[in-house]
Structure 1
Amino acid sequence: MKAILIAAVITALAVEAVESLGCVQYNSWNTTNANSNAASPCPQEANISCTSSLMNSTLGGTRQEYVDKSCSAEQCDLKEKVVAAFTVQVSDEDLFQFASLCCTDEGCNTKDASVPPMENISRTVECPACYGSDEASCSGQARKCNTEERCVSLVAEFSNGSASEILVLKGCSNVSNETCVYLSAANRTVGGIVFRNFECSNSTLSNLTSPSPTTTTTTTTSNTSKFSFTPVALASLLLLGLLL
């Protein structure tokens, strides 16, 4: 009987410890949150770990940043782990960067996720490079990539439950094998973004697209008018508090 009571107490303490996890919780678009370092208790359905995600974009010639810090129901298998970190380069001016990390200590997600820089080395791989709101508006231009980069094709959805906007993006990326495998799962949600599709390839002009054989342009100015990636349009969509 005593052993049963001791086991019950230990179980209760363990449950209480899990339920008491607190994380920094906010999301913002091109703004700084005044209470960004203040942790608050996590909801019961998402109290396993804390997450911190960052998205930077220069698509369309305007620099934009979105930050999401929240609680998660996913198990972080390390005290602090980078879940995803990559850059997709469409042209010299048009970049999409994303990074997300998870951690398990109280209020540990005060730290911002960071994206590794793209290396400027000899270019040998050639990838389709474009962005738009659908496949029709993201087609067939090519870009030569750095030696260690690979071709990436992704479809990401920004949503607040009542409205959504789609980004189709193709280009050169320094994404790791681990991140490719992780994000390739259908409808993977990370940092308030649903990756509907994510494909990586090391092949030159692979089956990620079927560009015209005569197209060699390395910029995507013609796509700028096809997809409006603006803070005003996405601010109303990216009011999200759940990561993973």
Structure 2
Amino acid sequence: MRSILVFGLLAALTVVAVESLECPQCINILSDCNDTAPTPCPVDSQSCGVTVARWPGDFSQMDQFCSAEPPGSSLNFAVRATNQELFLFANENCREKETCTPTLSADFPKVGKSNTECPTCSALNGDSCEVRNEICGEGERCVDLRAQFSVRSTIEATVNSVISSQLEIKGCSNISDAACIQLSEGNVVVGNITFQHLMCTPEPTMTPDSNTTSNSRGTGMGTNLDMTSALFKEPSG
């Protein structure tokens, strides 16, 4: 009887090992993570997450991570302060990395043609945010967003120290009701971006659906960064 129990335990452990999730885990600035080899995820991971973002100043980012969200959950929206000051964000969570190809909002309108007018401004790392007004496109709403992106330094003198960039942006957005509800909870983490604050006007009137990411947490911070970028200067104050 004891030998049967031992055999059954070993068989169960073998099944768990076979089914364990492995995902690429990487952050890159100004390039992609497509050559990153998968590594084992924490036991509570349900999917592989991929995030792409473009920050004001035309800085691009790609982030791959182990996610606690189920496969199929996603986010995709843009915030425009001006035609030159944009924050574009897309995230997907998939069982296999190859099926995750989040795409930024390429068709995001740049010319306002609606009756909605929003206060707009954008600032990085505590710089002053000079508010002005912008006419929005059809179907857009006003958004007030603060987000933080953290990475580990690759500079020899500060290796493994965390460097953060803080974004504040107000403007017109195509963000959905469901995404507004999810991200307005405060300090919602998607990969290595923390959405510290989000306010949507008009406020959403629906509950979030099951296909919207609420809290996809990355398990580590990548390297291979261009640390000369002004995106990562020390915050003022």
Same fold (TM over 0.5): yes
1:174 corresponds in structure 2 to 174
Pairs within 5 Å for 1:79-158: 80-82=72-74, 84-105=75-96, 107-108=97-98, 111-116=100-105, 117-119=107-109, 122-133=113-124, 137-158=128-149
Pairs within 5 Å for 1:22-37: 22-33=22-33, 36-37=34-35
In 1, distance between residues paired with 2:119 and 2:8?
59
User: What do the CA deviations read for 1:203-232 (whole angstroms, capped 9, x no partner)?
Assistant: 8xxxxxxxxxxxxxxxxxxxxxxxxxx961
Q: CA deviation at 1:81?
A: 3.1
Letter in structure 2 aligned against 1:102: N
1:226 corresponds in structure 2 to none
Q: CA deviation at 1:27?
A: 1.5
In 2, distance between residues paired with 1:4 and 1:46?
26
CA contact (8 A) 1:158 1:165 kept: yes
CA contact (8 A) 1:122 1:147 kept: yes
1:233 to 203, 227, 230: 230
Counterpart of 1:28 in 2: which secondary structure? Answer: strand
In 1, distance between residues paired with 2:183 and 2:58?
24
Counterpart of 1:146 in 2: which secondary structure? Answer: coil
Counterpart of 1:123 in 2: which secondary structure? Answer: coil
Identify, as 1 or 2, the structure richer in helix: 1
Q: CA deviation at 1:24?
A: 2.2
Q: TM-score, normalised by structure 2?
A: 0.71
Q: CA deviation at 1:49?
A: 1.1
2:206 corresponds in structure 1 to none
Q: CA deviation at 1:189?
A: 1.0
In 2, distance between residues paired with 1:170 and 1:65?
19
Pairs within 5 Å for 1:159-198: 159-160=150-151, 162-198=162-198
In 2, distance between residues paired with 1:13 and 1:177?
43
Q: Out of 4-13 and 157-166, give the one that drifted further.
A: 4-13
2:38 to 32, 37, 40: 40
Letter in structure 1 aligned against 2:40: C
CA contact (8 A) 1:18 1:48 kept: no
Counterpart of 1:157 in 2: which secondary structure? Answer: strand
1:199 corresponds in structure 2 to 199
Q: CA deviation at 1:16?
A: 1.7
In 2, distance between residues paired with 1:190 and 1:13?
31
Q: CA deviation at 1:108?
A: 3.5
In 1, distance between residues paired with 2:129 and 2:85?
14
Which aligned segments of 4 or more residues in structure 1 are displaced greater than 4 angstroms? Answer: 1-11, 133-136
Unaligned ranges ≥5, structure 1: 204-229, 238-244
Unaligned ranges ≥5, structure 2: 152-160, 204-226
Q: CA deviation at 1:37?
A: 4.3
2:207 corresponds in structure 1 to none
User: Quick check: 1:17 aligned with 2:18?
Assistant: yes
Pairs within 5 Å for 1:60-71: 62-71=57-66
CA contact (8 A) 2:165 2:233 kept: no
In 1, distance between residues paired with 2:127 and 2:231?
21
1:217 corresponds in structure 2 to none
